[in-house]
Structure 1
Amino acid sequence: MCLSIPSKVIEIDKEENTAIVDTMGVRRKASIEFVADEVKVGDYVLIHIGYAMNIIDEEYAEESLKLYREIIASMEEEDRRAMIEESDQCPGGAV
């Protein structure tokens, strides 16, 4: 299962219409061509299969990230590893 975790934009390449985003410490490259509004460094976006789909509110992003961290902290090590391995199978992998 691929989850859309809030990701913070840390760099934009206007020529390629892509962004480098930070997803809970993992940097990924994502296309920003489908986002209706202009994406800026510092924005939070939701990504699906390597494409930023929309910009989300920073407060909502932080609340969501806090919940994800709590879920991860409560998981057994084996379950964490399985989740990471499964997320590596989703398109739009880490850079």
Structure 2
Amino acid sequence: MCLGIPGQIVAVADEDAMLCVVDVSGVRRSVDVVCVAEPGAPLSDLVGAWVLVHVGFAMSRIDEEEAAATLKVLTEIGEAAAEMEALTKGSVDLYPARTQ
């Protein structure tokens, strides 16, 4: 299953490449922020923002309460561990094997 997992932008990694560092429950990865950046605004304006991260992209902005609630639900249903493992390894399997 592919999920967006909440993370907080903690730093700008590369302004020209539109990359920021996102912290997801203690795991930090560079992600593309082109979908959430304001045109013409510096990426430093995003530091502190909460976003949903999916396959190396920040897909949308969310507030801190929504981030906490989403992480809680993902943990409860056991999906957070798989997403955290993918973030830790730095890759996500876009086409996982399916069993019938």
Which category describes the TM-score, using the shorter chain as reference length?
Answer: 0.5 to 0.7
TM-score (norm 2): 0.64
1:47 alignment counterpart: 53
Q: What does residue 21 of structure 2 align with?
A: 20
The offset of 1:85, in angstroms, is 9.0
Unaligned runs of 5+ in 1: none
Amino acid of the structure 2 residue aligned with 1:54: S
The structure 1 segments of at least 4 consecutive aligned residues displaced by more than 4 Å after TM superposition are: none
- Deviation string 1:27-80 (CA, Å, 9 cap, x unpaired) is 1110111225465111111122211111111111111122233344xx9xxxx5
1:64 lines up with 2:70 in the alignment: yes
**Residues 2-32 of structure 1: CA deviation (Å, up to 9, x unaligned):** 3211011011132331110011221111011
CA RMSD of aligned residues (A): 2.8
CA distance in 2, matches of 1:60, 1:25: 18
Aligned to 1:4: 4
TM-score for the superposition, normalised by structure 1: 0.67
Instruction: Pick closer, same or farther for the CA change 1:85–1:18 going to 2, 3 Å.
Output: closer
Q: Secondary structure at the match of 2:5?
A: coil
Q: Is residue 3–residue 83 contact of structure 2 (8 Å, CA) maintained in 1?
A: no
Consecutive unaligned residues in structure 2, runs of 5 or more? 94-100
Q: How many residue pairs end up in the alignment? A: 83
